[in-house]
Amino acid sequence: MIPERYRLENLLKILRHPRALLGELSKVAIRANIIYHQNKKNEGVDVIDRDWDNLIIIDGCRFDTFQEVSGIQGNLEACRSSGSESWEFMQNNFVGEELHDTVLITANPHTTKIPPKTFHSIKNLVKTCWDSELRTVPPDAVTKAALETIDEYPNKRLIVHYMQPHYPFIGKTGQQIAHGGFNPDDNVDRGGHVWTKLQYGFLDESEVREAYRENLEIVLEEVEHLLSILNGKSVLTSDHGNLIGERIRPIPVKTYGHPRGLHVPELFRVPWLVRESDTRRKIQSDPPTERDQIEDEVVNNRLQALGYK
């Protein structure tokens, strides 16, 4: 059966609009590149095996942009992530592990797919702290939840997963462009999130870069506040990077976002910033607690808002 997007009506729309035609050709080339990269061996860092009391993850953060923007003190180096997108990162670091000495606080909807009893506890904020106008969990809500959790679990390792700088963009520039995009008469792609719009040439790349940078600046303010309060050794990293118009290989097509299975440096090269501490928490393992269930409809809506669907 022919996919709906390639039915005659949509194909005629594509032929009438050169930008749409180039966008479709780009997507075909990206799929071919993903197939090429599928057999590459993944040699990313095992974040659980590293030494830390607090692991802070900012979502979709490029190392080069972090290096330009961040003023957070600590020992910074680039490391290789084990995923080109969030769920791949979680599968390679969390799934199959028994992390009963660790509590996860997260704004990422993919966390709902982690098997039960993996962590001692998971505090998933995608339902309770979701901002319907921003279409994401704002970073201050993550900070607040993390500080409440450290008081509740003083003898556990803590993973805090912020959603920014990942799209949607919540800064001044980002909020002006995030809802822009296709004219309904030209809509050959039903996704319509920012990376798709860039692929089709409906957004200005420089504006999106600025919006991405704004998102990073906003989340780093919250991270710095959290680090100033947390005790123990802290590490700040990201689950994956982000493409903003780089030409990938072997087919040199400009690519945006973070397609799963596309194993290129811009998606794997992420920051690893270590903040040492004179005091360390005494970590202990305890049986896992029951976690709150989140309806599939809620999760799917959150994933769609974040551009995953």
CB 168 within 8 A of CB 178: yes
pLDDT greater than 60 at residue 193? yes
Single-letter amino acid, residue 119: F
Q: Taking residues 188-200, what's their average pLDDT?
A: 71
Mean pLDDT over 106-126 rounds to 95
Task: Give domain limits for the chain.
Answer: 4-305
pLDDT for res 202:
83
Residue-averaged pLDDT of the chain: 88
5-9, 41-45, 133-137, 168-172: which range is least confident on average? Answer: 5-9
What end-to-end distance do the CA atoms of the chain give, in Å? 21
Share of the chain above pLDDT 70, in %: 88
Does residue 269 or residue 180 have the better pLDDT? 269
- Indicate the pLDDT class of residue 235, thresholds 50, 70 and 90: very high
Q: What confidence score (pLDDT) does residue 99 get?
A: 97
Residue 231: per-residue pLDDT: 94
- Looking at residue 220, its pLDDT comes to 98
Q: Per-residue pLDDT for 186 more than 50?
A: no
How much is the average pLDDT of 242-249?
92
Report how far residue 146's alpha carbon sits from residue 157's, in angstroms, rounded to the nearest whole number.
12
pLDDT at 302: 84
Please state the rounded mean pLDDT for residues 213-222. Answer: 98
Per DSSP, 100 falls in state: E
Can you give the pLDDT at residue 298? Answer: 86
Closest CA to 78 of 298, 221, 269, 236: 269
pLDDT of residue 190: 38
**pLDDT at residue 39, rounded to an integer:** 72
- Mean predicted confidence (pLDDT) in 1-18: 55
* Preceding omega of 168 cis (within 30 degrees of 0): yes
**Residue pLDDT, tens place only, 144-185:** 999 999 999 999 999 999 999 999 999 999 988 855 433 334
236 — pLDDT class (breaks 50, 70, 90): very high
DSSP H/E element including 300: helix 296-305
192 pLDDT band (50/70/90 cuts)? low
* Helix runs in 70-159, H state only: 86-93, 139-152
DSSP string of 21-58, one letter each residue: HHHHHHHHHHHHHHHHHTTSPP----GGGS--SEEEEE
Q: What is the pTM of this model?
A: 0.89
Is 4-305 assigned to CATH 3.40.50?
Answer: no
pLDDT at 2 over 50: no
Percentage of the residues of the chain whose pLDDT score is greater than 90 = 64
